[in-house]
Amino acid sequence: MMQKRSITLKGHRTSISLEFEFWSALEEFAREAGRTLPMLITEIDRSRLKQSPTPGLASALRVYVLNRAVADE
């Protein structure tokens, strides 16, 4: 099931829709890194903006979770 959350990035509010499992994983990764969820999402956002073509934020968040899950195996 999709969950929509609002977050402030670069001073602007934006809404992100992700499946519950992705939100849970992001929260866990942020906690493990000693960061807040908005801090982690800001880092991922900065990283995605360096890519060409630039992926959407929700896609970048999903790919981040999948890459971390594979790396942690």
pLDDT, averaged in runs of 10, over the chain (73 residues): 93 95 97 96 95 96 96 81
- What is the pLDDT at residue 64? 97
- What is the pLDDT at residue 28? 96
Rounded Cα gap, residues 39 and 36, in angstroms: 5
Global pTM value: 0.92
- What is the pLDDT at residue 72? 79
- What is the pLDDT at residue 73? 75
Strand partners for 16? 5
Burial of 19 (0-12, 13-18, 19+ CB in 10 A): middle
